[in-house]
Amino acid sequence: MSSTYLYGGNVHANGIRQHYLRYGGKGQPLILIPGITSPAITWGFVAERLGQQFDTYVLDVRGRGLSSTGPDLAYDIDTCADDIIAFADALGLENYILAGHSMGARFGIRACVRGARGVAKLVLIDPPVSGPGRREYPSKLPWYVDSIRDATLGCDANHMRTYCPTWTEEQLQLRAEWLHTCYTDAIVTAFNGFHEDDVHSDLPHIKVPTLLMVAGKGGVILPEDEAEMRELLPSLRISHVPNAGHMIPWDDLEGFFAGFEDFLGARV
């Protein structure tokens, strides 16, 4: 099957350079926001498939990949949510699906309540449910900081396997190549935000159809979390990928796509 990849591009939005990868080019627009240490290119294998049905844009969140980075930028949830809003506006995207994984899902929630225009549907892929007064996010900060340090010094896929032992050789090679583009201060700010930012208070203000995809083996979202989120957002639809950890498509690609069920309006 031929690739759906079209090109990589840059746009000036919310005062910074935002880099993205575009797949498909036809159908309803879909913006994909990766997680805390996932440059856009690491989601290419997912976007290839989404691009068969959707005009797919994978964003390099600031401080990652080829988007603007460095000590002069802010990396808090509100700023990053505004990046999403400005990105969609700059490209003139309307009636689009906003999908985010982990950190990206939390940014997507906040973007919706900060006035994102044109969002038709919201997909939350195993977002951290930590926050003020809540249990901690299962992963620990040194795992991120140490792996970024090693990648910055230069390491190969075999070394990266010590951090991601279940990943394929191709996945590990890509992470070893690109992880150094994750700016440590941005990652620390995002990780701290998992525990300091209250996204639960945002949920009652979501006005678009929303799907929560839960990793069965991730330990991030427990049944009691699902119940609370549904109480806060009664229209929330929940699907499960039983055989996957938090990095759902890395663990079970077919299960990941099945987890969308019919929510997107087209099977992927």
Mean pLDDT of the chain: 97
Please state the rounded mean pLDDT for residues 72-99: 98
Report pLDDT for 157. Answer: 97
In a domain, 16, yes or no: yes
**What are the tens digits of pLDDT across the range 118-144?**
999 999 999 999 999 999 999 999 999
Query: Would residue 171 count as lying in a domain?
Result: no
User: By percentage, how much of the chain surpasses pLDDT 90?
Assistant: 98
Instruction: Answer yes or no: is 144 within a domain.
Output: no
Residue 94 lies in a domain: yes
Average pLDDT on 208-222 reads 97
DSSP the chain: ----EEEEEEEEETTEEEEEEEE--SSSEEEEE--TT--GGGGHHHHHHHTTTSEEEEE--TTSTTS--STTS--SHHHHHHHHHHHHHHTT--SEEEEEETHHHHHHHHHHHTT-SSEEEEEEES-----TTSPPPSS-HHHHHHHHHHHHH---HHHHTTT-TTS-HHHHHHHHHHGGGS-HHHHHHHHHHHHH---GGGGGG--S-EEEEEETTTSSS-HHHHHHHHHHSTT-EEEEETT--SSHHHH-HHHHHHTTTTTTSS--
* 33 lies in some domain: yes
Residue 176 resides in a domain: no
Average pLDDT score over residue span 214-236: 97
Q: Above 70 in pLDDT, residue 158?
A: yes
Q: Residue 242 pLDDT more than 80?
A: yes
In a domain, 187, yes or no: no
Average pLDDT over residues 71-97: 98
- Domain count of the chain? 1
Domain with residue 129: its CATH number is 3.40.50.1820
Q: Tens digits of per-residue pLDDT, 23-65?
A: 999 999 999 999 999 999 999 999 999 999 999 999 999 999 9
Structural domain that includes position 223: 5-135+198-258
| Residue 1 confidence (pLDDT) | 64
Binning pLDDT at 50, 70 and 90, where does residue 267 land?
A: confident
266 found inside a domain: no
